[in-house]
A and B are shown apart, each in its own frame.
Chain A
Amino acid sequence: MQSSRLWTDSFIDFLVDRDQERCIQCQVCVNQCPYGANIYRAAADIVDSRHENCTGCRRCEAMCPTDCITVRRYPGQFREHGNWTERQVKNLYKQARTGGVLLSSTGAEVDLPIYFDRIVLDACQVTNPPIDPLREPMELRTYIGRKPSSISLSREDGALKLATQIAPQLTCEVPVLFSAMSYGAVNYNFCESLARAAAATGTYWNTGEGGLHRKLYPWQKHTIVQVASGRFGVNKEYLDAAQAIEIKIGQGAKPGIGGHLPGEKVNEDVSETRMIPVGTDALSPAPHHDIYSIEDLRQLIFALKEATDYTKPVFVKIAAVHNSAAIASGITRAGADAIVLDGFRGGSGATPTMIRDNVGVPIELALASVDDLLRAQGIRNEVSLIAGGGIRNSADAVKAIALGADAVYIGTAAKIAVGCTVCQRCYTGKCPWGITTNDPCLSKRLSIEIGTEQLANLVEAWAHEIKEMMGLMGINAIESLRGNRERLRGVGLTDRELNILGIKHAGE
């Protein structure tokens, strides 16, 4: 049994600062905070704060009609120490108190270099004029899938005809796809918003390992389904509904460990979709129990292709780790149509903090090395590359494509588009913004109508910006940008880093 309040409980994270002069006791903050950080004290007729319950999501601040709340970092400070920072100290307190594994959500938050921020783009001047995307056509369409090494033509009745049979391709109107977020980890409203937005913008959303809810089948033309180690919700109909099938081997936020959906999040609908009993923890194993080699992976890839009559591309998703390049080469040879590389900063609904912040490789480095090796081995055309994990804006997407990706996956960015404030408490299942919760009352906070608009706006805005950036580089088709590292320059990077990224330093 847990003991009562300890001294360490006093060292809290946030302060819900309330200007009582402006508070009208409307209690909107009280009913909007699922953690109980705002309370109404009837005897005194005042709304008061319970600072210790605050997770810093700022929902109350956003909803207050008189702007009387400011959520701030708790001003009390520990004595400065370079090694024993507040975060380290509080983590130790937490573990000493609970004896448990520290949990977090979202991607790694450690202060490692973000290489995207140290890479700049080239622009055309005078001798190689830029293109104005508002006046001239710009091609963002991308085909994800295996491309033939050569093509042969035949002549029929005098007309040339393609004799080579092209492998199935996924046509993306924008090279930005919504990454795998499972139903259960995120709620139905978010899934439908993603599906509708993907349909509206000509891109795709990914079911994650949570199966495809019955009501989401109408958007199957824009759906990628995932087959993960737990095999939740996988059946023939599910595979048939998809436009592509993704085998999930690893996830950037937690390479090498499986998923864990807490039983509290498994309600009737989630249970039906995942095909597991209500209230049971959905634990996906760390490895696929039928994959211990590239040959085993090949068997699963072809089992899925066989099951769907070779009509759709099969992706393999791996976390970016030290040996990604060699692994990617193996995956290509195993017959995958696309490789998804999920970087160090990739998000998650629930991940042990130590794993989130200490395992994996930044996507920029992994992507460049994978693209390099596949090119060196002459098999880059046999597979498409999708990069994910910490893509924050359209410039990151452009840089990722220039480093060698065919398209990018966005997950956290999509959540932020519908309200997420990155409070990193998805694992509690009480998301105050109604995204990572299955509580029916909280879920209603994410309106499918508004969510769809926001997500579609995001993709459209990025499409405009990508076109602008291509235009200024004098490029009119995204295909010409892919792997075009000559248009990138590093700033403040070492020779070794530049070498791995395959780019020159600015000024060269």
Chain B
Amino acid sequence: MHRVFPREDQCMACGLCVVACVVEHSQSKDVLLAYRKENPRPGRRNVVEENVGVSLSLQCRHCEDPACVEACVNGALYIQDGVILVNKDHCVACWMCVMACPYGCMHREDRGDRWNSNKCDLCPGRKIPACVEICPNRALVWEER
């Protein structure tokens, strides 16, 4: 299965991967509309970790034996063809998955009237995930390992 892998030595912590992810998961898929008009704005699903000269873009590892799925009290997290997905209608925002994920890849999303957890879905419908495509320094790769 193809996954997104970060290359720490290439990442310059610009954060364009976060922008691309938000735009890809917006209604309009347009950067200006997604950020300035859509309400609520789609939540982030990835994060750039940066400390003492080390930086990398981090998104769900899609573990084979995922702690988040096990921790989910309401069955909102499930695995489909190896991809871990969240059913936002079932999510009760208890944040057990956020606490369980050892990589810090579960994010909280504010949808105005309610909250739910949010995570990388490997961009269904795209050949290459949006974060990989936008990275100007090839710090994210889409490959099978």
Contact = CB atoms under 8 A, between A and B. Distances in A.
B15 A444 contact: no
Contact of A24 (B13, B20, B35): B35
A486 to B, nearest CB: 47
Given A444-B10, A447-B138, A26 B32 contact: no
B11 A444 contact: yes
B136 to A, nearest CB: 7
A65 B12 contact: no
Interface in B33-51: 35-36
A370 to B, nearest CB: 43
Nearest to A62: B136
A447 B137 contact: yes
Interface residues of A, number: 20
B16 A31 contact: no
Q: From A440, A441, A442, A444, name the one whose CB has the most chain B CB atoms within 10 angstroms.
A: A444
Interface string A8-27: 00000000000000101111
B15 A441 contact: no
A434 interface: yes
A56 to B, nearest CB: 20
A444 B13 CA distance: 9
Interface residues of B, number: 22
B31 A28 contact: no
Interface string A427-471: 000000010000011101101011000000000000000000000
A65 B19 contact: yes
B12 A441 contact: yes
A450 B139 CA distance: 11
A444 B138 CA distance: 11
Interface string B1-30: 000000001111111101110000000000
Contacts of B20: 65
B18 A26 contact: yes
A24 B16 contact: no
A28 B18 CA distance: 10
A188 B83 CA distance: 39
B9 A444 contact: yes
A294 B49 CA distance: 58
A434 B32 contact: no
Contacts of A24: 19, 31-32, 35-36
Contacts of A26: 15-16, 18-19, 35
Contact of A63 (B18, B32, B136, B138): B136
Given A26-B19, A441-B55, A450-B137, A32 B14 contact: yes
A24 B19 CA distance: 9
A449 B9 CA distance: 11
A436 to B, nearest CB: 16
A63 B14 contact: yes
Interface in A28-86: 28, 31-32, 63, 65-66
Nearest to A189: B9
A445 B137 contact: yes
Interface in A387-443: 434, 440-442
A450 B9 CA distance: 13
Contact of A440 (B16, B36, B53): B53
A38 B35 CA distance: 19
A417 B36 CA distance: 36
A1 B100 CA distance: 54
Interface in B82-139: 134, 136-139
A66 B32 contact: yes
Interface of B: 9-16, 18-20, 31-32, 35-36, 53, 55, 134, 136-139
Interface of A: 22, 24-28, 31-32, 63, 65-66, 434, 440-442, 444-445, 447, 449-450
Given A22-B32, A441-B53, 10 more contacts: A24-B19, A25-B35, A26-B18, A26-B35, A63-B136, A65-B31, A440-B53, A445-B137, A447-B139, A450-B137
28 contacts: A24-B19, A24-B31, A24-B36, A25-B35, A26-B16, A26-B18, A26-B19, A26-B35, A28-B14, A28-B15, A28-B16, A32-B12, A32-B14, A65-B16, A65-B19, A65-B20, A65-B31, A440-B53, A441-B12, A441-B13, A444-B9, A444-B11, A444-B12, A444-B55, A445-B137, A447-B10, A447-B137, A450-B137
